[in-house]
Amino acid sequence: MRATKHAARSAQFDQTFSHRRSMIAKIQIAKKQLGIDDDDYRHQIREVSGQESLKECSERQLARVLDWLKSKGFKPALRKGAASHPMANKARALWISLYHLGAVQNPLEQAFEAFAKRQLGCERLAWARQSDAYRLIEALKAMAVRHGWQQHDRATGKPFQALGLQISLCDAILLKMKEAGIASESWSIQEAAYDLCGIRTPQTAAHYERLAKALGDALRRHTSPVGGLQGIVIIDETYPFLNGGAA
C-alpha cells in the first residue's frame, strides 16, 4: 500500500514538474514572439504574479502570466503538420474540453487525430474537407452530452455561445467531483474560480476556460487509476479538498 501511495505521489510530482516546465517554455516563447523587452517583461512578471521570476511562480501564477501574454496577442503554435482550418480548431478545442471533463483520457494531438480518422475515414484531419468536418464536431458534442456537458440552453433550446459553453463545462466537471465525493456539495463555481485560479469574479469565456482546466486537473488527481479515489468531502467550504488537492 505504501509503495502504491509513493508511486502515485511520484507520478503526480513528475506531472506537475513537467507541466510547470511546459508553461515556463511557453512564456519564454511568447516573450520572444511578442518582442517584449527585458525591463517590461520583468515588470509585468511582478505585476501579474507578484513574484520576481518565473522560477518562484506557482502554476496558478504562471497561468496568470500566460493569460496576460495571450491578451497581448500570443498564440501558441500548433504541432507541425497539425490541421489548422476553423473546423479543426473548433474540434480540437472540444477534444481538450472533453479531456478536462474526463470523457477522453488522452489530450494529445495524436489521440485527437486518431479519433478524427475514425469519424471521417480520412488519414489526416488536415486533408479532410471542412464541409465533412461537421461529423467530427457532432460526434464530439454527442460525447459531451453523454458526460453531462449540456450544449444548449434548456430554457430557450438555443446553442450556447462561447461563454455559455465554458460555464456549462465547469458545471459538469464540478458535478462529477461532487458525485465522486471529491468536493463539498455547497462548493460553488464562483468559490472554485477563486480557490483554484485566484479569479474573484469569473466573467469571460477565458476565465471559465482556465477554471475548467483547473477543475479537470483536480478531478484527475483525485480519481487517479494509480491510487483510486483519493478525495473525500469535508465540510469546510474554504478548503473542499483532502490532501491539498486544489493547491
Query: pLDDT tens digits, residue range 39-62?
Result: 888 888 888 888 888 888 988 888
Question: What is the model's pLDDT at position 242?
Answer: 41
- Pair 178, 218 in one domain: yes
DSSP 217: H
End-of-domain residue from the set 26, 49, 71: 71
Q: What is the pLDDT of residues 165-194, one digit of tens each?
A: 999 999 999 999 999 998 999 999 999 999
Residue 157 in domain: no
- Pair 185, 203 in one domain: yes
Decide if 236 contacts 14 (C-beta within 8 A): no
Mean pLDDT of the chain: 81
Q: What is the reported pTM?
A: 0.67
Cβ neighbour number for residue 114 with a 10 Å cutoff: 12
- Going 138 to 213 to 126 to 112, the CA torsion angle's sign is negative
Q: What mean pLDDT is predicted for residues 120-129? A: 84
Cβ neighbour number for residue 218 with a 10 Å cutoff: 24
Whole domain around residue 104: which residue ranges?
81-147
Cell readout for 87 is: 473546423
Instruction: Give SS3 for 200.
Output: coil
Q: What mean pLDDT is predicted for residues 150-164? A: 94
